[in-house]
Amino acid sequence: MQSGLATMPAEELSAGKVRRRTPWSEGVRRLRKQKAAVIGGALVLLFILTGLFAPLLAPHDPIEQNLANTLQPPSAEHWFGTDDSGRDMFSRILYGARISMTIGIFSVLGSLVVGTLLGLIAGFYGKWIDTLISRIFDVMLAFPGILLAIAIVAILGPGLFNALLAIAIVNVPMYGRLVRAKVLGIKQEEYIMAARAQGMSQVRILFRHVLPNSWTPLIVQGTLGVASAILEAAALGFLGLGAQPPEAEWGKMLADSRDYITTAPWVVMIPGFAIMASVIGFNLFGDGLRDALDPKAQ
């Protein structure tokens, strides 16, 4: 059997350097080889940058109305045309990206933090704590996500922050159960038993050994979860429970333009395409991450 050094490039051996690839670096290398994931990552980056730099990129004020210029088709002055209030659609799409990315990313971050903590506690400590948390998750998962989000927003009142909060709450059980399942397997590993034998505290074991080994599925699910959060935000906006006028939000833009689908189809198609492209981008990137970080593929 040949030594592992025999397969190394001669230049590296002559320089006396042996490169060690970590699982993360190996995952990044595989991710870059997947065309679909690269395209998805490019779309994700495009929408994030669009949202960040919307004030610099938008040629017009997204809420400025010009009733003498309503429902104008795409032109050199208005690249995506104008809506029923004469507002520039291109500018509103740019600002809508800021709202959708904010809701998608921050709602997932909130769900991840709360769900991860609850899942860690349930899986690691078990007994009645696990039973209580798991039953709470089961009750929340018994309701369709969008209906539960609508109920929460109806209680809190319509608005951008309340929509973000509702989406975050609805998705907590998904991440909590994912972490719990991962922890149940990890805490039986030999290195966890060795840490306990050395007298390491439960909290230290939890955050030093268990949590770092649970990150991979969370990162993948979180990326895919952003796509779902964007759709849920658009649904709430379409129902008038999300961002309120005059804010430019893609779901609200769809709701306001549905009466003009035959006379001015661009006012419906453009925000719909923006939602579709952003969701596809996060899904492609999330699928690529799942394949790249899969331990069985290493």
- Does 71 map to a domain? no
> Length of the chain, please?
298
The answer to whether 275 and 230 have CB atoms below 8 angstroms apart is: yes
Concatenating the DSSP letter of every residue in 221-270 gives: HHHHHHHHHHHHHHHHHHTTSSSPTTS--HHHHHHHHGGGTTT-THHHHH
Residue 218 lies in a domain: yes
pLDDT (0 to 100) of residue 118: 92
**Is residue 34 included in any domain, yes or no?**
no
CATH number of the domain bearing residue 245: 1.10.3720.10
Contact 69, 75 (CB under 8 A): no
Range of the domain at 171: 99-297
In this predicted structure, what is the pLDDT of residue 273? 94
Q: Is residue 47 part of a domain?
A: no
45 falls within a domain: no
> How high is the pLDDT of residue 21?
64
Alpha helices in the chain (DSSP H): 10-14, 23-32, 35-52, 54-57, 89-125, 127-141, 145-156, 160-186, 190-197, 202-205, 215-238, 250-257, 266-292
The pLDDT value given to residue 23: 59
Divide the 298 residues of the chain into consecutive groups of 10 and give the mean pLDDT of each group: 45 49 67 82 93 91 87 89 90 93 93 92 85 92 89 90 93 91 80 76 76 80 91 91 86 88 89 94 87 62
Amino acid at 153: V
146 is a domain residue? yes
pLDDT of res. 20: 61
Check residue 3 and give its pLDDT: 43
| 237: in domain | yes
For 201-251, write each residue's pLDDT tens digit: 777 777 777 777 777 788 888 888 999 999 999 999 998 888 888 888 899
Count of domains in the chain? Answer: 1
Does 267 reside within a domain? yes
